[in-house]
A and B are shown apart, each in its own frame.
Chain A
Amino acid sequence: MKLTIPEEEVMGHGHLACQGCGGALAMRYTLKTLGRNTVLSVPACCWSVIDGPFPHSAVNIPVFHTAFEAAASTASGIKAGFEIQGKDVNVVAWAGDGGTYDIGIQALSGAAERNDDIFYICYDNEAYMNTGVQRSGSTPLKAWTTTTPVAHPKDRPKKDLISIMAAHRIPYIATASVAYPEDLTAKLEKAKNIKGTRFLLIFSPCPPGWKADPKNTIKLARLAVETKVFNLLEIENGLDWRITKKIRKPKPVIEYLKLQGRFRHLTEDDVSLIQENVEKEWNILMNKVGE
């Protein structure tokens, strides 16, 4: 049998993530494909803790910690530094959704517009987890966080960051999920051979932040795809959209929502609203895909 996921483990065991952390898995799979000739620019996020306190580091490749809003620009600088010294290294900005959708979007947009030769990978857990679960621009409609309490859950949908990135016309954009490692691996393999800004969004459940059972991380990540809450796709040059995981018989969103405490307060109307929203977004996406 031909293995589609590289066997070698670059990331070590001694990291500090919680049980069932999707963000830790996302890194593990990513490094398997990108390999050891890789450098990470990590802004403030759970990963500034997960990697381990000084002098420890779990990833066995260089990690450069940077300011919350600066993952992309720091990566651009690292890449330029290597290039002028004639070194060919994968430089990866590795940020959470807060550092990507919100505070870091300016630096990300700048790097993408310049088409700097970096990977930008966002592990998306849909809130500010490091600081104790506050809403971000990625938090979904009606979800609970500490700043969108049950009395006033999030009243706006998750920001469509993928379209924003597509508008930059960068060579490669993909969404991925920790429940579909072959898909993630294939996308990283493809991205490795492309020059310019490559943006990946990896759906990464967070058990404490979602009030979910750690044993359900993969299940939730899979259900998000099966309910079309989170779609696996890739975009070339900002224009050529393609679904990489087709769902023949989508499941109702309730299957996904009911396993998470952050949605426990939902009324039936709320669930219908979320379901409608999923259909609406799917149709918008189908227009882009051209199906």
Chain B
Amino acid sequence: MRKVMIGNHALSYGAKISRAQVIPAYPITPQTEVVELLSEMCANGEMDAKFIKVESEHSAMTASIGASATGARVFTATSAQGLALMHEVLHWAVGARTPIVMGNINRAMAPPWTIWTEQTDSLAQRDTGWMQLYAQNSQEVLDSVIQAYKVAEAVQIPAMVILAAFVLSHTSEAVELPEQGKVDEFLPPYEPEYRIDPANPHAFGGLTGPDGYFELRYQIQKAIEDSLPKWDEVGREFGELFGRKYGLIETYKVEDAKNLIISSATLASTARTAVDALREKGEKVGLLRIRVFRPFPSAQIRSILSSVDRAVVVDRNISFGASGIFYQEVKAAVYNEKNPPPIFGVIAGIGGRDVTKKDIIDIYEDIMRMDEPKSDIIWKGVRL
């Protein structure tokens, strides 16, 4: 069945069709529609789930952790300030190995107050251990929620499905709703190895010294590494069942590409149209979209970068005092290669400033005129 919906509702329907059982959530622009629809579907019986109307995002996350630890499938969603408020307990969700799936709408951080899109909110949580997936359209949002549960529950690590504020969260698109029966087959009920159970009592998260903590952290890293092939496997299996295939990365016209544009989320969709326009001008250019950011698909990125002359990473985020964050990570991934290509880092679209096809074409043409990257940041569109 096809249904026209905004990106936010694609998250809600993703949670519904994945049969999420507990949904503790707190509203924040531009996420509100996600929780409004979920609370309605819980109230009218369309979903067999408990919606907890918590008093903050901090409680949304801690209630999510508690519910997940009982073996329930849990969904929540937030954005920017709400995600930042959760910071301490984002670590908790990972340490407690609770495979929660959370939608995050990328919104720039205050002050000054703003609601427009930027990726710094979620990227600032990159070291918490949450898996992070950046979607480019509403169909992918819905499909990714289902896949995220499958991967998260397999490795017992929580996952964020991330979408751009307004550009995606509030844009209506036709979305194919997968058949419930087929989704149930793809995503069976969650059966954790350990859960809170009075019949089998355990202490979860008790005091641990240097004797044991190290190994627990090693296991988290191993679990996230194990998820790397899983994201591709699950994306392939999803493709076989539903006709839409996904992976850690997506490439466009890279086979014969000499130069590469690298980006993520909706910026990558814009970059795709720029690639077409540049190809018409005779440029041998391709696009690499990083879909899964944590775990970071270093091997895949290395393999594609091994055959290009130069690459430019377009970031809608900034790590102050350093550079764009995808740029840092891409550079780090190829640093130990024999002859890595020069990589240029562009920061664009901060705070929701529009990034057009022409902007991306300009970025590309500018870096083609440069001999080498002279600094870690090339600013695009900042008015000085």
Residues on A facing B (Cβ under 8 Å): 36-39, 41, 48-49, 51-57, 59-67, 69-70, 72-85, 87, 89, 106-107, 109-110, 113-114, 116
Contact = CB atoms under 8 A, between A and B. Distances in A.
Contacts of A48: 206-207
B354 to A, nearest CB: 38
A64 to B, nearest CB: 5
Taking residues whose C-beta sits less than 8 angstroms from the other chain, chain B's interface range is 35 or more
A212 B70 CA distance: 41
Interface of B: 21-22, 24, 48-50, 52-56, 58-59, 62-72, 74, 88-89, 92, 196-198, 201-209, 212
A287 B262 CA distance: 71
B225 to A, nearest CB: 24
Among B52, B69, B70, max chain A CB count under 10 A is at B70
Nearest to B202: A62
Given A54-B207, A66-B62, A77 B202 contact: no
A107 B198 contact: no
A87 B56 CA distance: 26
Contact of B203 (A52, A87, A110): A52
A110 B54 contact: yes
Given A53-B209, A84-B49, A61 B201 contact: yes
Contacts of B56: 106-107, 110
Among A55, A74, A114, max chain B CB count under 10 A is at A74
Contacts of A60: 201
Contacts of A59: 201, 203
A5 B67 CA distance: 32
A50 to B, nearest CB: 10
A66 B66 contact: yes
A55 B208 CA distance: 8
Contacts of A79: 66
Contacts of B52: 76-77, 80, 114, 116
B70 A78 contact: yes
B205 A64 contact: yes
Contact of A73 (B66, B201, B206): B66
Given A63-B203, A84-B50, A53 B208 contact: yes
B62 A49 contact: no
A53 B89 contact: no
Given A84-B21, A114-B53, A65 B69 contact: no
A183 B58 CA distance: 35
Given A52-B203, A73-B54, A75-B66, 17 more contacts: A55-B203, A55-B206, A57-B206, A63-B204, A65-B203, A77-B66, A77-B67, A80-B67, A81-B21, A81-B74, A81-B196, A82-B70, A89-B198, A107-B56, A107-B59, A110-B56, A116-B52
Contacts of A51: 203, 206
A265 to B, nearest CB: 34
Contact of A54 (B24, B68, B212): B212
B206 A52 contact: yes
Contacts of B58: 69-70, 73, 106-107
B196 A78 contact: yes
Given A57-B202, A67-B89, A80 B53 contact: no
A84 B48 contact: yes
A77 B53 CA distance: 11
B72 A80 contact: yes
A230 B188 CA distance: 53
B167 to A, nearest CB: 32
Contacts of B202: 57, 62-63
Contacts of A107: 55-56, 58-59, 62
A106 B50 CA distance: 21
Report, nearest first, the 7 A-B pairs whose CB atoms are least far apart. A77-B66, A110-B55, A81-B70, A77-B63, A73-B59, A65-B205, A81-B67
Contacts of A61: 198, 201
B201 A62 contact: yes
Given A64-B66, A67-B62, A110-B59, A80 B24 contact: yes
A156 B48 CA distance: 49
B66 A81 contact: yes
A166 B62 CA distance: 25
Contacts of B62: 66-67, 70, 73-74, 77, 107
A85 B71 contact: yes
Contact of B24 (A38, A63, A77, A89): A77
Nearest to A58: B203
A277 to B, nearest CB: 32
Among A48, A73, A116, max chain B CB count under 10 A is at A73
Nearest to A109: B55
Nearest to A53: B207
Contacts of A49: 207
5 contacts: A61-B198, A77-B24, A77-B62, A80-B66, A106-B55
B66 A74 contact: yes
Nearest to A40: B203
Given A70-B59, A80-B22, A107-B62, A62 B209 contact: no
A60 B68 CA distance: 21
Given A84-B72, A89-B198, A110-B56, A66 B208 contact: no
B59 to A, nearest CB: 4
Nearest to B92: A67
